[in-house]
Structure 1
Amino acid sequence: MRKSVYGIVLILLLSLSVVASGCIGGSTPTSTPPQTTTQQTTQQSPTQTQTPTETQTQTEVQTQTSPQTETQPTVECGSGKVVIWHAMHPNELQVFESLAEEYMAMCPGVEIVFEQKPNLEDALKAAIPAGQGPDLFIWAHDWIGKFAEAGLLEPVDEYITKDILQKFAPMAQEAMEYKGHYYAMPFAAETVAIIYNKKMVKEPPKTFDEMKKIMEEYYDPTNEKYGIAYPVNAYFISAWAQAFGGYYFDDKTEQPGLDKPETIKGFEFFFKNIWPYMAPTADYNTQQSIFLEGRAPMMVNGPWSIADVKKAGIDFGVAPLPPIIEEGKEYWPRPYGGVKLIYFVKGIRNKETAWYFVKWLTTSPEAIKTLALELGYIPVLKEVLNDPEIKNDPVIYGFGQAVQHAYLMPKSPKMSAVWGGVDGAINEILKDPKTANIPAILKKYQEEILKNMQG
Structure 2
Amino acid sequence: MKSKGEFIVILTLLLGILAGCGGGNSTANSGNSQSGTAVDPATTGTETAAANAGGKTTVQFWHSLGGKNGEYMDALIQRFNESHNDIEVVGTYQGGYDETVTKLQQAVASNTAPDVSMLERAYVLMFADSDVLEDLTPFMEKSGLSADDFTSGLMGHSYFNDKLVSLPLNRSTPILHINKSMLDELGLAVPTTWDELKTVANALVVKEGKEVKRYGLSMPYDTWYPIAMISQSGGKFFNDEKTSPGFIDNGIGKEVFSYLKDLQSTGALYYPPAQDSGNIVNSMFVEGKIGMMFQSTGSIGGLSSSVDFDYVTAFLPKNDVYANPTGGANVALMAGSSNKEAAWEFIRWMETDPQGGLQFILQSGYLPFTKKMVESPEIQDLWAKEPNRKVAYDQLQYAIDTNNDVAWPEVMHEFFSTIEAVMYDSQDIQAALDAFNKETERILAE
Superposition TM-score, scaled by structure 2 size: 0.75
Distance in 2, matches of 1:200 and 1:348, equals 54
Distance in 2, matches of 1:134 and 1:159, equals 18
Distance in 2, matches of 1:86 and 1:206, equals 37
The alignment yields a C-alpha RMSD, in angstroms, of 2.7
CA distance change for structure 1 residues 214 and 259 in 2, over 3 Å: closer, same or farther?
A: closer
Distance in 2, matches of 1:127 and 1:402, equals 37
Distance in 1, matches of 2:222 and 2:258, equals 15
Q: 2:43 matched to which residue of 1?
A: none
The match for 2:62 among 80, 85, 102 is: 85
Q: 2:159 matched to which residue of 1?
A: 177
How far is the alpha carbon of 1:366 from its aligned partner? 5.0
How far is the alpha carbon of 1:397 from its aligned partner? 1.3
The match for 1:152 among 128, 132, 151 is: 132
How far is the alpha carbon of 1:259 from its aligned partner? 2.0
Q: 2:8 matched to which residue of 1?
A: none
Secondary structure in 2 matching 1:160: helix
Distance in 2, matches of 1:121 and 1:180, equals 23
Q: 1:271 matched to which residue of 2?
A: 261
The match for 2:360 among 333, 349, 371 is: 371
Listed as ranges, the gaps of 5+ residues in structure 1 are 1-34, 38-77, 325-330
Secondary structure in 2 matching 1:128: helix
**C-alpha contact 1:82 1:135 (8 A) present in aligned 2:** yes
The match for 1:112 among 89, 102, 110 is: 89
Q: 1:41 matched to which residue of 2?
A: none
**C-alpha contact 2:115 2:339 (8 A) present in aligned 1:** yes
Distance in 2, matches of 1:389 and 1:251, equals 41
Distance in 2, matches of 1:95 and 1:223, equals 40
**C-alpha contact 1:338 1:408 (8 A) present in aligned 2:** no
How far is the alpha carbon of 1:280 from its aligned partner? 4.5
Distance in 1, matches of 2:307 and 2:281, equals 17
Distance in 2, matches of 1:372 and 1:395, equals 15
Q: 1:167 matched to which residue of 2?
A: 149
Listed as ranges, the gaps of 5+ residues in structure 2 are 1-23, 27-54
Farther-moved stretch of structure 1 (170-179 vs 136-145): 170-179
Determine if the alignment matches structure 1 residue 135 to structure 2 residue 115: yes
How far is the alpha carbon of 1:361 from its aligned partner? 1.0
Distance in 2, matches of 1:270 and 1:361, equals 41
CA distance change for structure 1 residues 366 and 454 in 2, over 3 Å: closer, same or farther?
A: same
> What fraction of aligned residue pairs are identical, expressed as a percent?
20
Pairs within 5 Å for 1:329-340: 331-332=320-321, 334-338=323-327, 340=329
Determine if the alignment matches structure 1 residue 318 to structure 2 residue 298: no
Pairs within 5 Å for 1:49-88: 79-88=56-65
Distance in 2, matches of 1:89 and 1:268, equals 38
Q: 2:198 matched to which residue of 1?
A: 212
How far is the alpha carbon of 1:223 from its aligned partner? 6.2
| Paired residue type of 2:395 | A
The match for 2:290 among 291, 296, 316 is: 296
| Paired residue type of 2:157 | A
Distance in 1, matches of 2:411 and 2:298, equals 24
Secondary structure in 2 matching 1:113: strand
How far is the alpha carbon of 1:98 from its aligned partner? 1.4
**C-alpha contact 1:240 1:269 (8 A) present in aligned 2:** no
Distance in 2, matches of 1:413 and 1:205, equals 35
Distance in 1, matches of 2:368 and 2:240, equals 24
1:395-429 Cα offsets, whole Å, 9 max, x none, are: 33111233222322544212233212211111111
CA distance change for structure 1 residues 381 and 206 in 2, over 3 Å: closer, same or farther?
A: same
Q: How many residues align?
A: 373
Distance in 1, matches of 2:402 and 2:170, equals 15
Distance in 1, matches of 2:381 and 2:261, equals 39
Farther-moved stretch of structure 1 (108-117 vs 445-454): 108-117
| Paired residue type of 1:389 | D
Distance in 2, matches of 1:375 and 1:270, equals 32
Q: Which has the larger radius of gyration?
A: 1
